[in-house]
């Protein structure tokens, strides 16, 4: 087990980042968040502002000087800051590249310059594209389909290159479809967040395409557990892990589970498939289980019930 005392979390005011920050502060890490609030919110981390050892810095990962300043005295980095929307990346690939690739390169370079002991990178299942056979294993060939997916695959390659060239201890996590409280609700948010938000207003659930596409939905608490393991465990250097449940769910099944969990008889509306969307996607969790010691523990039904009750709690 590694023990780091100070961790930089880029994108720490966002959905996944803020939950990770809660856990790290709870474990007495000194935590610095670097976030430009593009999609993150101060409210997600404001409950830590008075905590000893917590610092929130507004800044951009594209700004090398800011990245260098926040890295001073840091032992470990979890790099989550990114533009995450697939459709947006199709409309504006250069911006996605600048944040997700050049931004990652800045963070990697400053991590090496500051002798950081562990660098955990948040990649995505999107890097696989329409690869077969399913479930997806970490050593599958990558066929990224959208500029977002390409940006994550490129940033992964930089992480591997920095591990080999400079001995930086990188660990790559390929998150699958993460859901839970604080996920932004906007036209591009995750399908579970959208469905629960529509359900709370009694509005129809919108299904793109025939609804038979599959996803591997993983609850935020499980994702935080996997990320902390990636930060603290020994013998992971240069490794890549799926962070998934291994269970495929179709969007049509999801609509049924949402109806049951909310107890609402919601209408289903079909719309045309979205640009850049993958048809079938679910992961093989065996490597993460064996090497990282990670196993997703929250079922979709349970995770949805928890998420729904937290939405009601905040409305
Ligand atoms: N949510 C998912 O299902 C999922 C799946 C796979 C991978 N991921 C990856 O996990 C990471 C976190 O995703 P999330 O769902 O929490 O999204 P999010 O949008 O809530 O978090 C991203 C954070 O990065 C910040 N950010 C964006 N551009 C920045 C910049 N130029 N400089 C500094 N900060 C910047 C945003 O303000 C936000 O706080 C991302 O790298 C994403 O690609 C997420």
- What is the average pLDDT across 254-261? 93
Q: How many CA atoms lie within 13 A of 86 on its CB side?
A: 17
Atom nearest to 123 CA in ligand 1: 7
Give the residue, out of 175, 191, 249, with the most ligand 1 atoms within 8 A of its beta carbon, to mutate for a pocket test.
175
Strands (E), the chain: 6-10, 30-35, 54-58, 76-79, 118-124, 170-175, 177-179, 205-208, 214-215, 217-219, 240-243, 249-250, 268-271
Ligand 1 closest atom vs CA 37: 37
Is the beta carbon of 103 within 6 A of some atom in ligand 1?
A: yes
Q: Check if 15 has its Cβ closer than 6 Å to any atom of ligand 1.
A: yes
pLDDT confidence of 311, banded at 50, 70, 90? Answer: low
CB 225 within 8 A of CB 292: no
**Is any atom of ligand 1 closer than 6 Å to the C-beta of 124?**
yes
Task: Give me the percent of the chain exceeding a pLDDT of 70.
Answer: 97
Q: Tokens 């500029």 map to which residue? A: 147
Contact 56, 33 (CB under 8 A): yes
Cβ–Cβ < 8 Å for 183, 17: no
Residue 313 pLDDT > 80, yes or no? no
Percent of the chain with pLDDT over 90: 86
CATH number of 6-176+220-244+283-297: 3.40.50.720
Mean pLDDT over each residue of the chain, to the nearest integer:
94
82 Cβ inside 6 Å of ligand 1: yes
| CATH domain 191-214+247-282+301-314 topology | UDP-galactose 4-epimerase; domain 1 (3.90.25)
Dist. CA 258–CA 105, nearest whole Å: 40
Q: For residue 304, what are the contacts with CB-CB under 8 A and spacing of at least 6?
A: 179, 192, 196, 257, 258, 261
6-176+220-244+283-297 and 191-214+247-282+301-314, same CATH topology? no
Does residue 96 have a pLDDT over 90? yes
Alpha carbon nearest to ligand 1 atom 1, residue: 178
User: What contacts 197, CB < 8 A, 6 or more positions away?
Assistant: 185, 189, 311
Q: Which tens digits make up the pLDDT trace of 24-66?
A: 999 999 999 999 999 999 999 999 999 999 999 999 999 999 9
Cis peptide preceding 71, ω within 30 of 0: no
Closest CA to 162 of 171, 151, 174, 150: 171
Domain locations along the chain: 6-176+220-244+283-297, 191-214+247-282+301-314
**Is residue 179 lining ligand 1, measured as CB closer than 6 Å?**
no
Please report which confidence band the pLDDT of residue 314 belongs to, taking 50, 70 and 90 as the band edges.
very low
Pocket test for ligand 1, best of 13, 39, 94 (most atoms within 8 A of CB): 39
């Amino acid at each position: 087990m590694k023990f780091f005392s100070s961790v930089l979390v880029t994108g720490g005011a966002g959905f996944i980042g803020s939950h990770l920050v809660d856990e790290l502060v709870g474990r007495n890490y000194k935590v610095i968040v670097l976030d430009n609030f593009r999609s993150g919110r101060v409210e997600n981390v404001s409950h830590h502002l008075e905590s000893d050892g917590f610092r929130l810095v507004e800044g951009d990962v594209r700004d090398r000087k800011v990245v260098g300043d926040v890295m001073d005295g840091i032992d470990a980095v979890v790099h989550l800051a990114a533009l995450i929307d697939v459709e947006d990346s199709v409309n504006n690939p250069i911006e996605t590249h600048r944040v997700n690739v050049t931004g990652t390169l800045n963070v990697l370079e400053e991590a090496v310059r500051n002798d950081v002991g562990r660098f955990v990178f948040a990649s995505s299942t999107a890097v696989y594209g329409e690869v077969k056979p399913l479930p997806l294993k970490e050593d599958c060939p990558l066929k990224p389909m959208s500029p977002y997916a390409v940006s994550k695959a490129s940033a992964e390659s930089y992480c591997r290159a920095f591990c080999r060239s400079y001995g930086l201890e990188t660990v790559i996590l390929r998150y699958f479809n993460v859901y839970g409280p604080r996920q932004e609700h906007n036209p591009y948010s995750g399908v579970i967040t959208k469905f629960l938000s529509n359900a709370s207003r009694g509005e129809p659930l919108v299904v793109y395409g025939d609804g038979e596409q599959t996803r591997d939905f993983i609850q935020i608490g499980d994702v935080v557990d996997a990320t902390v393991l990636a930060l603290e465990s020994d013998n992971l250097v240069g490794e890549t892990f799926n962070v998934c449940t291994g269970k495929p769910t179709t969007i049509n099944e999801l609509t049924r589970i949402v109806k049951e969990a909310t107890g609402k008889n919601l209408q289903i509306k079909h719309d045309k498939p979205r640009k850049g969307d993958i048809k079938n996607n679910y992961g093989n969790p065996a490597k993460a289980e064996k090497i990282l010691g990670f196993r997703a523990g929250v079922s979709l039904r349970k995770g949805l019930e928890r998420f729904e009750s937290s939405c009601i709690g905040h409305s």
